């Protein structure tokens, strides 16, 4: 083994080239050589970027948006017209402000006071449209028996963290105004937003989730390296994540960026950076175990494992950037912002990591309990058995994947069911009180129909006759009509949350088709329906873009169309199994309650399958690239396919 003096000796690039043969130096070898020659400068630059990234991380949240625009879709375009006319409603579901009498009593005797309280709210908080029994004359806003009454609060649009904070303050103010006017009654807020917050109130923020993930990763890295090197990938991950957030912050000054990017940058960035670091560091240790001095070990690791890292990073980026073909600006910004994650991680891994390994690497590789001179015995044995019994092994693996895939044929897309929201808390208690009093769950997701002022009354009457619609009202005055346009509020029999509960939306649209004066139908249900059409109507295009680009990239990298095609096909099969397990676990609730205390969600959020597909396709390709790259290297060396497969898996299995 080379001594410390040899490990830190500066070796001319020409000498390095001679050691690896007379072939022309590759780009990665040149990068490694340049990085090692200017190691201190490279580290200093990345430290500066790290500091700037820390500064950006505290500010980027306030620059991200909640905007889920669907330009060109009927429901969304109608919602924009509602917002332009009334300055509230349209895109977002209303909050329900519930007034309940003391136990055993009724509001029937003093509904005039309740109506007056809501009128006072309407005057003091003009940002809200308050729709209640007093303004509409409808008894549908009072529970059976008169134990409770509610008002719909149509609220200003939430587009970012700042507007969410403002809305929360307005909601609290509204509840306080009504509570002061009705001191003998109980006042509470419920609605989809409040129920959802209650169901996730015990969750972690992005920083806490990242730290938990890092702690778990450290345990795994400690097992893999059995030395202080376990901390090095975490350093690389920290630099990668903060650098990505710095670039994302700059991107927010050029275009809107979805809040999803922040979570992905932290959590996906953590996994990607650690994966890439693990592969390169493992190869570096392997080269040193073979007798190479530290300089040559770093160069060789960058040239071999670094190549796999670059290919993998490009593959992940392709999966993400394919989101730009979807006509949803939020997903497009997620694709562009998410694409930065693997590319920046690759840049950090092939520059900063070699600089660290070229300096402190040998010192932190202590106590070196685990050696890299030989391939993993366990993975060698596993690979040998699979190669020996390849047909039964392939059949068994395929059978497991098919069984895991089956539940996907029952997937439901949309918001989760009401039963999957919080089971306790003020919002849940208020909702349960309304439900017990006969208020339909559709009050959580009212349908808004924008018409001309003249057509408003006839539209409301038509909706009341439509099957699946519990009631429809047109509030008088400024609450229901402004600037010659009316907003008719229809309450479905049940909440229109996912693809299996859209019947009331279809009925409303059919009933009003060709009706005079009707401009459009909007609300939670219509917009969810539009989202499904816009996104999944373009899903085949996104799939084709990812598959073709990935195939071309891998065919070029592996010099084999068969290997590239096999990689794409296996990843599609594994994605099907992932979606099946996602449906089985979350939608159907097999284990979600026991593990996380959450019942069956009843549906999978519309955008989640797209995000899972884009990221998982790229991330799962990581391991495909890592293994196949090493298998290809072993085959070029031995010209024996079986030995190459066993050797490649034995060398990379533990790193996966």
Strand order in the sheet with 148-154: 129-131, 148-154, 95-100, 186-190
Of 120-129, 266-275, 606-615, which gets the smallest average pLDDT? 606-615
pLDDT of residue 22: 43
Is 227 in contact with 365 (CB distance < 8 Å)? yes
Position 373 scores a pLDDT of 60
pLDDT of residue 501: 86
How confident is the prediction for the chain on average, in pLDDT? 87
pLDDT band at 2 (very low <50, low <70, confident <90, very high): very low
Judge whether residue 371 has pLDDT over 70: no
Per-residue pLDDT at 568: 86
Instruction: Give pLDDT, residue 1.
Output: 37
CA distance 483 to 388: 78
Whole-prediction pTM value? 0.80
Question: Are the C-beta atoms of 621 and 613 separated by less than 8 Å?
Answer: no
Q: Residue ranges of the alpha helices (H) in 38-141?
A: 39-57, 74-86, 111-124, 133-136
List pLDDT tens digits, range 307-357. Answer: 999 999 998 898 888 888 888 888 889 889 889 999 999 999 999 999 999
- Residue (of 93, 97, 224, 83) closest to 148 by Cα position: 97
Encode pLDDT of 136-188 as tens digits. 999 999 999 899 999 999 999 988 777 888 999 999 999 999 999 999 999 99
pLDDT value for 292: 93
The proportion of the chain whose per-residue pLDDT surpasses 90, expressed as a percent, equals 53
Q: How far apart are CA 106 and CA 111, in angstroms?
A: 9
Query: What are the counts of helices (DSSP H) followed by strands (DSSP E) for the chain?
Result: 26, 9
The reported pLDDT for the residue numbered 616 is 78
pLDDT of residue 205: 63
d(C-alpha 316, C-alpha 335), whole Å: 11
pLDDT given for residue 592 in this prediction:
83
State how far the alpha carbon of 450 is from the alpha carbons of 467, 521, 522, in Å: 20, 6, 8
pLDDT at 203 over 50: no
Name the token pair of 171.
């909601």
8 pLDDT band (50/70/90 cuts)? very low
- The pLDDT score that the predictor gives to residue 350 is 97
Please, which pLDDT band fits residue 528 given cuts at 50, 70 and 90? confident
Residue 305 has pLDDT above 70, yes or no: yes
Percentage of the chain exceeding pLDDT 70:
93
Lowest-pLDDT range of 52-66, 434-448, 512-526, 627-641: 627-641
CB 383 within 8 A of CB 646: yes
**CA 55 to centroid of chain Cα atoms:** 24
pLDDT at 370: 62
428 has a pLDDT exceeding 60? yes
369: pLDDT confidence band, cut at 50, 70 and 90? low
Q: Is 26 exposed, middle or buried (0-12, 13-18, 19+ CB in 10 A)?
A: middle
């Amino acid at each position: 083994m080379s001594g410390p003096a040899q490990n830190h000796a500066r070796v001319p690039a020409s000498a390095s080239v001679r050691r690896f043969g007379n072939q022309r130096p590759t780009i990665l070898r040149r990068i490694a050589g340049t990085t090692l020659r200017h190691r201190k400068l490279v580290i200093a630059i990345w430290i500066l970027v790290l500091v700037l990234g820390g500064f950006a991380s505290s500010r980027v949240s306030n620059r991200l948006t909640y905007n889920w625009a669907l330009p060109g879709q009927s429901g969304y375009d109608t919602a924009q017209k509602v917002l332009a006319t009334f300055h509230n409603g349209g895109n977002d579901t209303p909050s329900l402000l519930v007034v309940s009498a003391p136990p055993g009593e009724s509001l029937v005797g003093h509904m005039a006071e309740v109506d007056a309280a809501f009128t006072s709210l309407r005057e003091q908080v003009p940002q809200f449209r308050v729709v209640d029994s007093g303004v509409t004359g409808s008894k549908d806003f009072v529970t059976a028996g008169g134990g409770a009454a509610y008002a719909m609060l149509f609220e200003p649009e939430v587009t970012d963290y700042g507007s969410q904070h403002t809305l929360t303050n307005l909601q609290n103010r509204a509840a306080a105004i009504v509570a002061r006017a009705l001191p003998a009654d109980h006042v509470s807020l419920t609605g989809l937003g409040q129920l959802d917050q209650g169901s996730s109130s015990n969750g972690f923020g992005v920083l806490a989730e990242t730290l938990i993930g890092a702690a778990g990763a450290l345990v795994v890295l400690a097992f893999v390296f059995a030395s202080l090197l376990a901390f090095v990938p975490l350093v690389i991950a920290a630099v990668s994540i903060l650098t990505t957030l710095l670039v994302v912050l700059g991107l927010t000054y050029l275009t809107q960026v979805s809040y999803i990017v922040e979570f992905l940058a932290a959590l996906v960035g953590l996994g990607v950076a650690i994966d890439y670091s693990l592969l390169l560091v493992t190869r570096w240790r392997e080269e040193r175990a073979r007798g190479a001095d530290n300089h040559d070990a770093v160069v060789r690791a960058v040239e071999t494992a670094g190549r796999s890292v670059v290919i993998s990073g490009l593959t992940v980026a392709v999966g993400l950037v394919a989101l730009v073909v979807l006509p949803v600006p939020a997903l497009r910004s997620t694709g562009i912002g998410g694409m930065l994650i693997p590319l920046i991680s690759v840049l950090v891994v092939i520059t900063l990591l070699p600089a660290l390994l070229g300096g402190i690497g040998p010192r932190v590789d202590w106590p070196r309990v685990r050696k890299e001179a030989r391939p993993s015995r366990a993975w060698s044995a596993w690979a040998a058995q699979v190669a020996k019994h390849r047909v039964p092994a392939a059949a068994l693996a395929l059978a497991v994947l098919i069984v895991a895939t089956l539940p996907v044929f029952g997937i439901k897309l949309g918001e989760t069911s009401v039963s999957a929201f919080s089971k306790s808390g003020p919002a849940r208690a208020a909702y349960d009180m309304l439900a017990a009093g006969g208020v339909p769950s559709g009050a959580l997701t009212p349908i808004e129909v924008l018409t001309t002022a003249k057509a408003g009354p006839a539209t409301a009457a038509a909706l009341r006759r439509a099957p699946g619609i519990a009631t429809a009202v047109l509030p008088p005055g400024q609450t229901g009509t402004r600037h010659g346009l009316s907003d008719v509020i229809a309450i479905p029999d049940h909440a229109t949350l996912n693809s299996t509960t859209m019947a009331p939306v279809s009925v409303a649209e059919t009933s009003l088709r060709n009706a005079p004066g009707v401009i459009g139908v909007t609300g939670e249900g219509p917009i969810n329906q539009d989202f499904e059409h816009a996104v999944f109507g373009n899903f085949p295009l996104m799939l084709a873009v990812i598959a073709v680009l990935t195939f071309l990239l891998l065919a070029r990298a592996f010099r084999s169309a068969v290997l590239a095609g096999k990689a794409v096909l296996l990843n599609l099969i594994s994605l099907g199994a992932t979606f099946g397990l996602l449906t089985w676990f979350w939608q159907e609730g097999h284990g979600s309650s026991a593990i996380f205390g959450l019942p069956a969600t009843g549906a999978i959020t519309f955008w989640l399958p797209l995000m899972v597909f884009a990221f998982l396709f790229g991330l799962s390709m990581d391991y495909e690239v890592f293994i196949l790259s090493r298998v290809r290297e072993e085959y070029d060396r031995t010209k024996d396919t079986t030995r190459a497969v066993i050797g490649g898996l034995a060398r990379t299995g533990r790193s996966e």
